[in-house]
Chains A and B, each alone.
Chain A
Amino acid sequence: MLIEGKNICFTYEVGGSSFALQEVDIDIAPGEFVVILGANGSGKSTLVRHFNALLTLQRGELKVARIDVRNEQDVWLLRRLCGMVFQNPDHQFVSSVVEEDIAFGLENYKVPRDVIPERVRSALALVEMNGYEKRSPHTLSGGQKQRVVLAGVLALEPEIIIFDEATAMLDPTGRQEVIKIMQKLHRAGKTIIAITHYVEEAVAADKVILMHQGRVLACGRPQAILTNLELMQVAELIPPLPVRLYYDLQQAGIQLNRCPLTNEELAEAICQFRSNT
């Protein structure tokens, strides 16, 4: 396993009893596309901030690429291994020029000066933002900004890329742009961990981890998690539209052959139902 966590507990108040994470167990394999799903305050961000030691593990065990996150001397290695894209792109820029912002991480890791321009260029190419090197990030659209932030992370060539609600502040086009890059990176073999409360984004994942009040409520394939109305209700989430329609149709006496997760699957199931009747 690339990430192995057992019995992780965390509280924001020192010595407090209100746990942000309670006895969380987590396993993530290399190359997996994992979506951590949960309502606001369910502990998703708190959990992933342990992976790159942005938060210090208080109780339990957590190893990332066999490195114990408690080892202080490995903190910088962990942060290079686990790139992280946060929610608001405007809060992540350190420079007012795209190429300088992307070079920031490389400079922190003392990457030789003559290697940096090439790394910046290839990171921009990965997020399809070639030609924007000299632009100011503030003149870009939301999706483009988030792609520049992602390029800054990719320049460090991390094995794991964590998207901490990276699409939450984007318009539908911007969201699609980021999701497309996420899927492209996954196909390229990167381990992707995406945190979201948009259930539709979990459909394409290999594994969904459903969180509620600091605990892992369920973990499994999207089909098993997202179509379980009871689980979704406990997690205070609304299932994807095709799932809701499937159950509404069922109540109306129309039984489709399987519960669809996407609009395409729904259309297919309805067509099949019509041809059967």
Chain B
Amino acid sequence: MRMLPTGEYIPGHSFLHRLDARVKLPCFFILMAAVIGAASLWGYVLVVAVIAVLILLSGLPLPAAVASVRRIYGFLLVIFLMNALFFGGEDVLASWGIVQLSRGGMEQGFRVVGNVVLILVLGNLLTMTTLPTQVTAALASLIKPLKFIGVPTEEVAMILSIAIQFIPTLMEETELIKMAQIARGARFESRKLPERAASFIPLVVPVFISAFRRAEELALAMEARGYRNAQNRTRRKKEPLALRDYGALTVCTLICLVQFLLRRC
């Protein structure tokens, strides 16, 4: 069985594993804001140090924590070059028509790439230490207030939970269909982007058909097990937040505040 490519949950008992997902999610967004808000070298030192500590607290090996970054080297290079060559600025190092390599552009490129890398690692840490079901349960809990404006929060949570757990099986099916088409002469490995994009079109139709078929069969299986709607069910017991959860939320908020103070200095 093929699993999620990166960021897949790795069972463990580390501090991050034990943190409540209802806290981990807001902490992730707060730290993401701290990364985006970093404007100086000290700002980046702070967030890099925080992420290093988080990797230690997650108990995950470093290669696993940064796995998703290694997969998008090409994408990061494109982002860097786009910024370095088209950002403009006054300190131009070289110029070829409308393309200008500037110091400001290079700085901007490094900053954007740095932000993407740090946010990816944060996301990895979140998903590798949190079960998809915990993430969706936390989301359901966090979006609960939206119920008052008529949003069917329980249904949304159920849809999210099922969608997440269907990803590995759909990926496996896509791979099987791709193999079947390769066996009949289809080519997916063209280096030209338009050709490569066009080659994926015949893949989309069977994958969609398969997804709809699965959805129909799952709906039948759910009905057979007595599913009516998300409201009319036994509610799961919500564990109260532990001291470490409150502590983590406070520390993350403080880090974000320090970051914005550093920005002002």
CB atoms of A86 and B233 under 8 A apart? no
* CB within 8 Å for A107 and B233 given contacts A91-B214, A96-B164, A138-B169: yes
* CB within 8 Å for A95 and B233 given contacts A88-B217, A90-B169, A139-B1: no
> In whole angstroms, what is the CA distance A161 to B122 when docked?
46
CB of A224 closer than 8 Å to a CB of B: no
CB of B104 closer than 8 Å to a CB of A: no
Chain B's closest residue to A102 (CB) is B225
Which residues from B are CB-within-8-Å of A31?
A: none
CB atoms of B165 and A110 under 8 A apart? no
> In whole angstroms, what is the CA distance A174 to B161 when docked?
28
Select the stretch in A4-12, A76-84, A254-262 that faces chain B.
Answer: A76-84
Partner of B133, one of A86, A90, A95, A106: A95
Partner of A92, one of B9, B161, B221: B221
CB atoms of A91 and B131 under 8 A apart? no
Partner of A96, one of B131, B214, B233, B236: B131
> In whole angstroms, what is the CA distance A212 to B130 when docked?
50
Residue in B161, B168, B217, B224 whose Cβ sees the most chain A Cβ within 10 Å: B224
Chain B's closest residue to A80 (CB) is B226
CB atoms of B165 and A108 under 8 A apart? no
CB atoms of B224 and A91 under 8 A apart? no
CB atoms of A86 and B234 under 8 A apart? no
CB atoms of A79 and B217 under 8 A apart? no
* CB within 8 Å for A86 and B220 given contacts A106-B234, A113-B235: yes
Across chains A and B, the number of contacting residue pairs, with CB separation under 8 Å, is 86
CB of B162 closer than 8 Å to a CB of A: yes
CB atoms of A76 and B234 under 8 A apart? no
> In whole angstroms, what is the CA distance A86 to B232 when docked?
24
Which residues from B are CB-within-8-Å of A210?
A: none
CB of B218 closer than 8 Å to a CB of A: yes
CB of A38 closer than 8 Å to a CB of B: no
CB of A152 closer than 8 Å to a CB of B: yes
CB atoms of A108 and B169 under 8 A apart? no
* CB within 8 Å for A138 and B133 given contacts A92-B218, A95-B165, A113-B236: no
> In whole angstroms, what is the CA distance A46 to B1 when docked?
31
Q: For window 106-154 of chain B, which residues contact chain A by CB distance below 8 Å?
A: 131-133
Partner of A105, one of B164, B168, B220, B225: B225
Chain B's closest residue to A52 (CB) is B224
> In whole angstroms, what is the CA distance A90 to B169 when docked?
7
Partner of A153, one of B1, B218, B220, B225: B225
In the complex, 6 of the A-B residue pairs with CB atoms within 8 angstroms, ordered by the A residue number, are A76-B228, A97-B133, A108-B227, A112-B234, A134-B11, A153-B225
